[in-house]
Structure 1
Amino acid sequence: MDTFIAVMFSSEQQELYCLDCMGYFLMFMAACAFFALLFENVPYGRHASSKYGFPVNVKFAWFVQELPAFMVPLCLLLWTSSAKTSQLPNRLLIAMYLIHYVQRSLIYPFLIRGGKPTPVVSFALAFVFCVYNGYMQIRYLSHYAEYPTGWVTHPCFITGSALWLVGWLVNVHSDHILRTLRKPGETGYQIPRGGVFEYVSGANFLGEITEWAGFALAGCSVHSTSFAVFTLVVLASRAVAHHRWYINKYEDYPKSRKALIPFVF
């Protein structure tokens, strides 16, 4: 794989420049997505539409679209020089990323109960994003990222790591609550109860946003920051759309529950 990368880039400086450009481009895409999502919901689940192509089985879609976010980094770690993986900050940041996507790609899809098919356009875009982001994050962390001595004791790293852990736990727990709302064979929707859902409609989204915000704070790079910003834009839109859907569907939906930020929004 080192040979393939050497063919793609004339020097390490050129590859690092391209990685930086990928980060800034993702920021740009986040801005575009922000404006686009003011007029259109992300087309998946209860908001899916036939205008975004034929439906793909939800378990198959989640597994295949998320798998590159795990497999691309794994290939980079196993089959490239990965010069910076000997450094503790880099190892911990890579571990944060992989823990999320091991759960998301290898466990979560097979626990889904019911669930509406995913439009093929949404499926394809998610697949491309996972390839793009998986390469950008892990290639930078494994081969280029340099952190000061003692970075793991810096307030940014400690705070970011704590946020990542809290966000990951909220995300996994909230997914469990949503999954157990349905008995085997059921496909309908119900009001989620318990955990962070007592405060917000998008508890699972809040967890994932918090995860990647913590990852960005701990990583302090354009690559991690762009990922956090893109996640915020897309998942905040989903949370708002879900909140409106619940309010319109259920007359007894909790009035005090917010969309994404407890007690605020």
Structure 2
Amino acid sequence: MELAERLLLDALAYLECALSFLFFALLTLLGSPYGRYASQRAAWSLTAPTAWAVQELPSLAVPLLVCVATAAERLRRWPNRILLAMFIVHYTQRSLIFPFLIRGGKPTPLYACVLAFAFCTYNGYLQSRYLSQYAVYGDDWVTDPRFLTGFVLWLVGMLINIHSDYILRNLRKPGETGYKIPRGGLFEYVSAANYFGEVVEWCGYGLASWSVQGGAFALFTFCVLLSRARQHHQWYLEKFEDYPKSRKILIPFLF
């Protein structure tokens, strides 16, 4: 039974890699169906705070359920505990804090929320079940350069993501409407600094975990957020004549 589930978790990780390229292609061709790009003709939609809380919650609830409802033998090891804590900390912020900081926000089509909910359930199970039951690390893994570098990248990426979201929330003064060019922080270099932070964060997690499961999530994050960042970048260029042409799409000084 354990071997069968371990093979299943590997298969789910490789499937997530395949989905990364599929979603990149679809989002590049069709665009992201939320926020300013959402169709106003959608029959069913949720407010932005509600959609964010609902769709992100499985990434927090599923790992907690896995830890409580199973033996979670591997969580007796510090490397496994820290890696799972990294995952849970991010989604505590994304599902319980971030949604309540949103100011306004366009409605999210119900189908987009359902798709995100499904992925968060899938990935939440994949990451938490692997780390709690099957990931084998020596106690000295927490001093390995791969783990230390990955942890630092995760922390820096999360701070960039939170700071960039703060900049976006405060673009408008009370009573103002319309869109503005983001200024400050890494927005001086890229159009999607918040996405850049999240990519760095999960690449760090993937490096620290040194696993197919962690790497698959990092790849999925990069592919999906790159497609969204390209859409944002093009929108800014078309919307604002004075938009800084030196800004890259997602990665400072690269693209």
Measured in 2, the distance between the counterparts of 1:224 and 1:186 equals 41
Q: Is the 8 A contact 2:77 2:139 kept in 1?
A: no
Deviation at 1:209, TM superposition (A): 0.4
Alpha-carbon distance change, 82 to 184 in structure 1, aligned in 2, over 3 angstroms: farther
Please give the secondary structure, in 2, of the residue aligned with 1:107: helix
Deviation at 1:54, TM superposition (A): 2.4
Matched, 1:98 2:83: no
Which of these residues, 86, 108, 116, is aligned with residue 118 of structure 1? 108
Measured in 1, the distance between the counterparts of 2:41 and 2:12 equals 29
Matched, 1:41 2:28: no
Q: Is the 8 A contact 1:212 1:227 kept in 2?
A: yes
Measured in 1, the distance between the counterparts of 2:65 and 2:178 equals 39
Match of 2:156, as an amino acid? V
Measured in 2, the distance between the counterparts of 1:247 and 1:171 equals 22
Which of these residues, 240, 247, 252, is aligned with residue 230 of structure 2? 240
Equivalence map 1:64-103=2 (5 Å): 64-103=54-93
Which of these residues, 153, 158, 172, is aligned with residue 143 of structure 2? 153
Q: Is the 8 A contact 1:89 1:151 kept in 2?
A: yes
Measured in 2, the distance between the counterparts of 1:104 and 1:27 equals 23
- TM-score, normalised via structure 1 length: 0.93
Deviation at 1:53, TM superposition (A): 5.0
Q: Is the 8 A contact 1:114 1:187 kept in 2?
A: no
Alpha-carbon distance change, 51 to 207 in structure 1, aligned in 2, over 3 angstroms: same
Residue in 2 aligned with 1:23? 13
Please give the secondary structure, in 2, of the residue aligned with 1:85: helix
Alpha-carbon distance change, 21 to 187 in structure 1, aligned in 2, over 3 angstroms: farther
Measured in 1, the distance between the counterparts of 2:161 and 2:44 equals 29
Q: Is the 8 A contact 1:114 1:185 kept in 2?
A: no
Give structure 2 stretches of 5+ with no counterpart: none
Deviation at 1:81, TM superposition (A): 0.5
Measured in 1, the distance between the counterparts of 2:70 and 2:176 equals 45
TM superposition outliers: structure 1 runs of 4+ over 3 Å: 50-53, 183-187
Residue in 2 aligned with 1:164? 154
Q: 1:13-47 CA distances to partner (integer Å, 9 max, x unpaired)? A: 21111111110111111121122223111111111
Q: Is the 8 A contact 2:62 2:125 kept in 1?
A: yes
- Which is further off, 143-152 or 111-120? 143-152
Match of 2:207, as an amino acid? L
Which of these residues, 158, 172, 179, is aligned with residue 182 of structure 1? 172
Q: Percent identity?
A: 56
Measured in 2, the distance between the counterparts of 1:184 and 1:215 equals 37
Q: 1:197-220 CA distances to partner (integer Å, 9 max, x unpaired)? A: 111010000000000000000001
Alpha-carbon distance change, 187 to 228 in structure 1, aligned in 2, over 3 angstroms: farther
Give structure 1 stretches of 5+ with no counterpart: 1-10
Q: 1:153-209 CA distances to partner (integer Å, 9 max, x unpaired)? A: 111111111110110000000011101113446553211111111110100000000
Q: C-alpha root-mean-square deviation of aligned residues, in Å?
A: 1.4
Match of 2:62, as an amino acid? V
- TM-score, normalised via structure 2 length: 0.96
Match of 1:230, as an amino acid? F
Alpha-carbon distance change, 25 to 187 in structure 1, aligned in 2, over 3 angstroms: farther
Q: Is the 8 A contact 2:151 2:204 kept in 1?
A: yes
Measured in 2, the distance between the counterparts of 1:251 and 1:21 equals 47
Residue in 1 aligned with 2:193? 203
Measured in 2, the distance between the counterparts of 1:259 and 1:60 equals 28
- Which is further off, 149-158 or 59-68? 149-158
Measured in 1, the distance between the counterparts of 2:51 and 2:144 equals 39
